[in-house]
A and B are shown apart, each in its own frame.
Chain A
């Protein structure tokens, strides 16, 4: 049992980190009253931007500088997801478009963008490899502490991850502190609950919405980068990222808009995501594996229903979530 857990938990955590990034980003976004359904697209764009950056760098230099090898993909990823965030804000905040529709369009666009560049980038170099493999860059990203292996189970459970995993946890905790303990966080929550009141109190609603959504998108984009660079060992394959973006949006409700809860929740979901690999099916009945893959979605659905059944006041979404704000509207 112990050895099983020792093998299972690190894999669950690795699966959970992209969800954690997406979830934290979406919580910050939703706290400003923007329901960004474009997060799956943003994560694709973040991932592919990072891939493009490191691809250009890896093919451009002969000797790689470890600092640049990490900084360039990070910068490209943040830039790509920031642009997506700005696009979403421009459409929903400045032009007051419907948030659901804008988000879905962003997802269509973002997933297409990722798959298009992921598929065509390889044609730029005249090589025979079927997909982009950025193993050099990936090795920098997935480097864990050198003494982790010597520490036995402790090292394996807590220290065996690349730095982005720790960054994700740190960002989630920082976001929790920011939202609940700082004045700016209070203002942000006010914007999400009731933009009219916030506006009357002298808070610049548009600026807060822009800032929260863009920062949220950048955090979510890092989740995509983590997936490609660390989890997938730098190999981009189309549609491999799958539906993790949608799951992280569902996680937001599961965690009741609390970034600190999202750390454990996303590890739990990471575990559910790979649980099917550990349920014995036998060779003749591989089809049941497809049914077990349903588990995370069924659990999400059950959680959604249960949280809505016990509708406490403190567990409600931000009151103006999904609604555009127009000062002159009554």
Chain B
């Protein structure tokens, strides 16, 4: 490699990089689509190598895994809406350049709060009151989990990437503590389905479908976030702080206040996602209930350029990949981490293609002048 570099140094570089002014949206979109297609081709090739199945069958079983039956389709949409919710939660923080990678912990602590309500309030209060308590508790818990790093950041400019990360592990250990405290049966190390007989604290089903609630909540939050970010004063302040803190201070925005407020919102929505996971979907709590989605959501939010509506497509794509790869790994006896590899490959392509959207390569013509210089 160093040899090639040396050679290039002597010669005139063949091309150079120029920043683009802006790209028409359909061109930018088509670059992204090409990148995703390329990534799918690479994934197909890798799957063919590892499993030896026909590449076309790879895609077929991926689609079958995500949309093969009514139930599978519903679950795909339900997972998408949870991922979407967490991505939406992280977005306002990212917009002000606050790298909140603590979505995982905020979801967990929200889930823990609602599990605590479900266990300790069973039979003591009517169901409606209990659900109200769960909503308040989980949103509040998520809020606190977002607030702590935000306070540090606002006051002492503590590195938020690492502090939110540490908050994840603290939340994980709290959940582990609670699980052992309340394990059923004793010594099993897990809680099992909470309130299986009374169903108290289980979030209601909408229109007779148990999958619909998460989807409806996600749609509402998407609309809310789109309006909040684009049309509200708060959204504008977040934008200014993200672009330049000094400008924000100059025009009289209280940066600390914006950071704290935005992170509380961020944590609150994550807590809501935790509530849906525990109260609406799983009816139990484990340390892995967030399933790494807090990290995936960072990528979803970023690759959608913080646009709530694009996030719907991005999170659907990621969930599709996860479930598709899951299907392949079940069918061919592969390890379940296979989906992580495929997701990783897709992400690399999407990350890479952004370059071609914001920069362009210009080929240099060989000039007389450089020729002379060499001679």
Contacts and interface: CB of A to CB of B under 8 A. Distances in A.
Interface string A227-254: 0000000000010000100100110010
Interface string A292-330: 011001101100110011010000010000000010110
Interface string A255-294: 0000000000000000000000000000000111011011
Interface string B341-359: 1011101100110110011
A51 to B, nearest CB: 14
A109 B163 contact: no
B298 A101 contact: yes
Contact of B163 (A87, A207, A291, A304): A304
A65 interface: no
B19 A328 contact: yes
Interface in B79-128: 99, 101
Given A112-B339, A207-B5, A297-B166, A101 B351 contact: yes
Given A37-B161, A116-B338, A294 B170 contact: yes
Nearest to B296: A108
Interface in B313-367: 333-341, 343-345, 347-348, 351-352, 354-355, 358-359
Chief secondary structure at chain A's binding surface: helix
B343 A108 contact: yes
B246 interface: no
Contact of A112 (B152, B169, B299, B338): B338
A119 interface: yes
A316 B190 CA distance: 44
B348 A87 contact: yes
Nearest to B295: A104
B340 A108 contact: yes
A301 B163 contact: yes
Interface in A97-126: 97-98, 100-102, 104-116, 118-120, 123
Nearest to A111: B340
Given A96-B359, A304-B159, A287 B180 contact: yes
A315 B340 CA distance: 37
A257 to B, nearest CB: 12
B177 interface: yes
B18 interface: yes
B176 interface: yes
Chain B interface, >50% SS class: helix
Contacts of B339: 112
B158 interface: yes
B355 A95 contact: yes
B18 to A, nearest CB: 7
A109 B344 contact: yes
Given A108-B296, A286-B180, A294-B169, A116 B352 contact: no
B301 to A, nearest CB: 9
Contacts of A294: 169-170, 173-174
Nearest to B156: A308
A243 B172 CA distance: 12
Nearest to A86: B1
B157 interface: yes
A132 interface: no
A116 B180 CA distance: 29
A112 B337 contact: yes
Given A298-B170, A308-B159, A108 B347 contact: yes
A109 B347 contact: yes
Contacts of B338: 112, 116
Nearest to B99: A100
B37 interface: no
A91 interface: yes
- Looking at B162, B165, B176, the one whose CB has the most chain A CB atoms below 10 A away is B162
Interface string A129-171: 0000000000000000000000000000000000000000000
B40 to A, nearest CB: 16
A300 B351 CA distance: 30
B34 interface: no
B344 A293 contact: no
A275 B321 CA distance: 40
B302 interface: yes
A249 B162 contact: yes
Given A96-B359, A207-B5, A328-B19, A300 B345 contact: no
Contacts of B152: 304-305, 308
B181 interface: yes
B16 to A, nearest CB: 9
Given A305-B152, A308-B152, A297 B173 contact: yes
> Which 7 pairs, one residue from A and one from B, show the smallest C-beta to C-beta distance?
A112-B340, A109-B344, A119-B335, A115-B337, A95-B355, A287-B180, A105-B347
Interface of A: 37, 87, 90-91, 95-98, 100-102, 104-116, 118-120, 123, 207, 238, 243, 246, 249-250, 253, 286-288, 290-291, 293-294, 297-298, 300-301, 304-305, 308-309, 311, 317, 326, 328-329
15 contacts: A98-B302, A100-B101, A101-B299, A101-B303, A102-B351, A109-B347, A112-B338, A116-B335, A120-B334, A243-B169, A294-B170, A304-B158, A308-B152, A308-B156, A308-B158
